Amino acid sequence: MRRGTAIASILGVALTAFSMVHAQPAAPGGPLSDSLTLSASASLEVPFDVLRMTLGATREGGEAAAVQTQLRQALDAALVEARKAHRPGQLDVRTGGFSLSPRYDPKGTGIAGWVGHAELVLEGRDMSAIAQLAVRLGTLTVARVDYTLARDTRERVEAEAAAQAIARFRARAADYAKQFGYAGYTVREVNVGTSEPPVRPVLSRMRAMGAVAGESIPVEAGKASVTVQVNGSVQMTR
């Protein structure tokens, strides 16, 4: 009897210890039950409001110094005219790339000449004025046209899209919690990300765009799409 009583006592202690271990709550930082992971997003379309037009000049010659001088003259002449139309934010003027490189003889006998390229960039909100000015700069030709969003426009649209995405996230979390039989939820973790609208490039030449002397270059900005994504997890509550 004593032996049976001892064995029963040992088994009782072991079962009690087993029950106590499984009754302990999950370790801090571990996975929680009743949690839900979800996402929501919102997208807004807005017209591109900044035009960036890159104009360039290319010169070739036998002497590097002569080619560089020709490029400088073409660029300086364009700058004189462009600076007259400068209006901060509406029509900004700046120089772009400037390169000078050797052109080698196909027979491999050495340098046959030099080729150089210089750029002038017109950028701003007044797209019509930029297009008209580009035609007047006779020493340069249009090499590239880009459309983008002004910083204040992008920030305003991002804020509006973020508000919509967050509202959808909260509504979706409340709806899912209700469907699972819970009274509400609390936010555990959330991340908000923005998809930057890409610059819309248009490679072109004035002749391809159909512009002639005295006429502005046709411009059509199109629209940008700004998307905000909200991802996170919530704890559903009774």
Q: What does the pLDDT look like over 7-54, one tens digit per residue? A: 334 333 333 333 233 323 334 454 557 899 999 999 999 999 999 999
Q: How would residue 215 be classed by pLDDT, with cut points 50, 70 and 90?
A: low
Q: Mean pLDDT over all residues of the chain?
A: 83
Give DSSP secondary structure letters for 173-237.
Answer: HHHHHHHTT-SEEEEEEEEEEEEPPPPEEEE--HHHHT--TTSPPP----EEEEEEEEEEEEEEE
Total Cβ atoms within 10 A of residue 82:
24
Continuous segment of H or E residues that includes residue 164: helix 151-179
Q: Where in the chain is the domain with CATH 3.30.110.170?
A: 32-49+150-198+222-238
Averaged over 203-230, what is the pLDDT? 68
Of 25 and 175, the structure prediction assigns the larger pLDDT to: 175
Q: Where in the chain is the domain with CATH 3.30.70.2970?
A: 50-148
Domain 32-49+150-198+222-238 top-level CATH class: alpha beta
pLDDT at 202: 67
120, 79 contact by CB (below 8 A):
yes
Domain 50-148 listed as CATH 2.30.29.30: no
Q: What is the pTM of this model?
A: 0.72
